Structure formats: structure tokens, C-alpha cells
Amino acid sequence: MSATAGEVVAAAAAQPTAVAVKEGMWGSGPGDVSGYGGLRRPLLRHQRSTRPYGGYFDAVAGRLRALVPALPEDFVAVDRGQMIAYIPRDLLLDVVRATRDDALLRFEICTSVTGVHYPDEPGAEFHVVYELLSITHNRRLRLEVTAPDGDAKIPSITATYPMANWHERETWDMFGVEFPGHPALTRILMPDDWIGHPQRKDYPLGGVPVEFKGAEVPPPDERRSY
């Protein structure tokens, strides 16, 4: 049986699109001494999936949209067997309250909050990722929220998931993402007077030159372009 035009369009939309092509282990060009200069692979990011997602994912997605109707229709991705829900930051608090309190969802625990820095994504340079766990239903759900570099602020979820307190502090410490509503957003890994946020990709690696058998090895941030 041949596919309809709508099915063809939906299938095409679900196909991964390469953001870029990465070459070598650290990029192509001079300075790559890794021995893997011949490697080439497409860089795929943030693809959305189409229904049916499979497993319990359809039920969770449908329930979330019923509870938070403002969610976009294409807010779900399924990658490596896990459901990812891409949430607009102005809807995050509504979503986490629904995931915790609704009897059909009941994600009681937020096991992790962390950040990712994509400097090549204008307007969405920072992604904050939330890993939720339902003990009641034995399910997992990942939420992902973006914020621009010029306004790197995402509402704190500590009022709903108190265990996120330390994770949000670490995300701010390492990436510089602020969490308005957090009770005490202070550094947790770096010293209080530390300047900058070390896991941002634009954070300088630093270091000092090292002399070895008559040759000088430059500091890490002068060796390769990552």
C-alpha cells in the first residue's frame, strides 16, 4: 500500500538533519595530531519525532499536552530509547508541577539538572536538562529547556523538586545559567571569588608552556581549535 502525501511529509520531517559535518577527532586542518584526521560524521541535534513514539511515550506526551495545552505539538523527541520533551521556559513551572502531581504521570523525583553550552545556536546557546523519575510507574522522562546567552535565565524548580537545589547551583556555577526563584544561588564547586564558568565552551583552558626534551609544548588553549 502506497503512502499518502501527508505520511511522506511526516516521514521526511522525522529524518535527522545534519547541523554540520565534523572531521577528525578535534576538527580538520593543521594541528590535529590525533591520528583520526580521516573521520567524518554528521552532527545531529534536537530532532523531533512523530507519533507513534512507542512504549509509554505517547501516553505521557498526550497527558502533558492535556494538562499544559500551550505546549507545541512537536515538543517530543525519542533518542536512544528515551523520551525528551522540549519545553519553552515560560511553561517549565507548569510542566514540572504537572509531572509531579498528576496521578497518570507521577514523576516524583528529579534526579539531575545539568547544562549544555551550544555557542553555535543563536538564541538557544544554553540548554538545561532535567531528568525525571517516576517510582509509581517505573518511567523516566527528560525535559530540555533553552535560554539565549544574553538572557541566560530559567525559572528555578526547587519549589516543586527541592532536590534540584544543589543541581541548579552547580549548573549556575559551571555554565552561568541563572535560576530566578532559587533560595540561595551560590557557587557549589568553585571558590566564591572564582571568575567565570568553567564548563562553557568559550571558557579559556589556560595552562602554561611545558618544555620537554628541548621542545616547548604550548598550553592547551593554544594547541587545537575545539
Percent of the chain residues past pLDDT 90, beyond the cut? 66
Per-residue pLDDT at 8 = 34
Contacts of 27 (CB under 8 A, 6+ apart): 224, 225, 226
Residue 29 has pLDDT above 60, yes or no: no
Q: Mean pLDDT across the stretch 177-191? A: 97
Contact 128, 115 (CB under 8 A): yes
Upstream peptide bond of 52 is cis (omega within 30 degrees of 0): yes
* Confidence grade of residue 31 (pLDDT, cut at 50, 70, 90): low
pLDDT at residue 226, as a whole number: 44
Average pLDDT over residues 174-182: 98
Instruction: Give the mean pLDDT of 75-87.
Output: 95
Whole-angstrom distance, CA of residue 21 vs CA of residue 24: 10
Contact yes or no for 139/58 (Cβ under 8 A): no
Would the pLDDT of 6 be above 70? no
- Which ranges in the chain are annotated with CATH 3.30.460.80? 46-222
Q: Categorize the per-residue pLDDT at 10 as very low, low, confident or very high, splitting at 50, 70 and 90.
A: very low
What is the value of pTM for the model shown?
A: 0.80
Asked if CATH classification 3.40.50.1100 holds for the domain at 46-222, the reply, yes or no, is no
pLDDT digits (tens, 9 = 90+) for 114-155: 999 999 899 999 999 999 999 999 999 999 999 999 999 999
Please tell me whether residue 168 adopts helix, strand or coil conformation. helix
pLDDT in tens, 41-72: 777 788 899 999 999 999 999 999 999 999 99
Assigned C-alpha cell, 48: 523531533
Q: Can you name the residues that pair with 117 across neighbouring β-strands?
A: 126
